[in-house]
Structure formats: structure tokens, C-alpha cells
Amino acid sequence: EKDNDCKLIGITQPRRVAAVSTAKRVCYEMGKGDGQTIQAEKKKQGNTVAYHTRYESAGLGNRTRIKFMTDGILLQEIRTDLLLRKYNVIVLDEAHERNLNTDILLGLIGASIQLRKQASQEANSNLGPLKLVVMSATLKVEDFTNNERLFPNSPPEIVRVPGRMYPVTIHHSRVTELDDYENVALQKVTKIHRKLPPGGILVFLTGK
């Protein structure tokens, strides 16, 4: 395999929980894991799908091709390697949840794209151009497409994936439980399941 063909697809998430859970799901969908953990396919060689956060990592190795990580991890890597030589594609997911790390990354990646383009045109270079994908469900697209520093030559292609809308009704509890809210949520779900027509129930809980 050529060196350029063995580089990573790096996917960033703003939160650790999202990076870990998404990596496990993708690993499962690709038939490389059980959906609960990510194990190395062979000792020290890693898994096709891996993740790396501040406090933990799993599946990283020579076989890794898709790497999920938090914004902060990529920011650490780009500080020591502005060309991001390990990557062919960078995907910034949940871009609408912009924070300081996201904004700094966008600026640095804009410089990386131009430097990689120049490097790829040099003789005997094994570096290809760096591709950037920005993903979001609620992003104001113009904030990115009109950024001439990030896309100096022409606006990027925009891919729109239509979502499905379902009717939603809101009901409030008479009392807000601040401590044992998990048990209260369980009781509420059980009550909904017992009394209302069949359907899915989605419960959002804090990640901490």
C-alpha cells in the first residue's frame, strides 16, 4: 500500500461521551466490535475504528483507519504537526456547538489545508491534499461557506440530508427532582409505557 493510502480519517466530537459512544457504534456497524467495547484485532495492531480522549483511548494501532477524538486531542496534535501528516480527512462533527477549541481548530486547519496542498505538489511528495468535512444538524451554513480564509478559492460543496419531523407534545412534572432524578425518570418512563399507546421512549441524561 502507498503511504498516502494508509492515513487516518479523523473525526472530532465536542464531548468525550459522544466521541466514545459514536466510535463504538461505528465499530459495531463495520463488524469490528460488539458495540460495548473496542478491542484490538491483533495484539498491538489496533482496531480499524478507535477513539482517543483526554483520559482514555481504545483500539489505536497500525490497523486503525478511523479515529474518533475530542476537539482538544486534535488541537494537541496540530500544535506539533501543522500539516497533520497522519490524516487524509478531518471531519468536524457537531460544528454548531462551537467553543474555543473549535474556533482555534478551524483557523489552524485552514492553514493546514493550504500547506498540505503545496506539499502535495512538490516532487516525490507522499502527502496528498487534506480534506475537511464540517457536519452539523443546525449549523448556519453561511458562517463557514463565506469564510474566505478557510475556503480561499471557492465555496465548498454543501450536502443537505433532510431530517424526519415527528409531532411532539410537552408535559411538565409538577415537582422537579434535583437529586434522585434517574429514579424519577425511570418511574415516568414506566408510567408512559403502561398507559400510553405503543411507541419509542428516549430519555436524555447528563453526561456527568
Check pLDDT > 80 for residue 153. no
φ and ψ at 129, to 5 degrees?
A: -60, 150
CA angle (64 as vertex; 12, 131 as ends), nearest 5: 50
pLDDT tens for residues 12-26? 998 999 999 999 999
pLDDT at 95: 84
Mean pLDDT of 161-188: 85
Q: What is the pLDDT of residue 2?
A: 41
pLDDT of residue 3: 43
- DSSP code, position 6: G
Q: What is the pLDDT of residues 41-81, one digit of tens each?
A: 777 789 999 999 998 999 999 899 999 999 999 999 999 99
Q: Report CA-CA distances (Å) from 188 to 81, 184, 185, 205.
A: 50, 6, 5, 14
Q: Mention every residue, 6+ apart, whose C-beta is less than 8 A from residue 175.
A: none
The pLDDT assigned to 173 comes to 84
The residue whose grid cell reads 482555534 is: 104
In which residue are the cell numbers 480519517 written? 9
Q: In the predicted model, what is the mean pLDDT of residues 162-182?
A: 83
Residue of higher predicted confidence among 34 and 171: 34
pLDDT over 80 at 149, yes or no: no
Q: Across 53-184, where does the E strand assignment appear?
A: 57-58, 66-70, 87-92, 131-134
Structure confidence by residue, pLDDT tens digits, 106-145: 889 989 998 999 998 888 888 899 999 988 887 778 877 7
- Cell triple for 16: 468525550
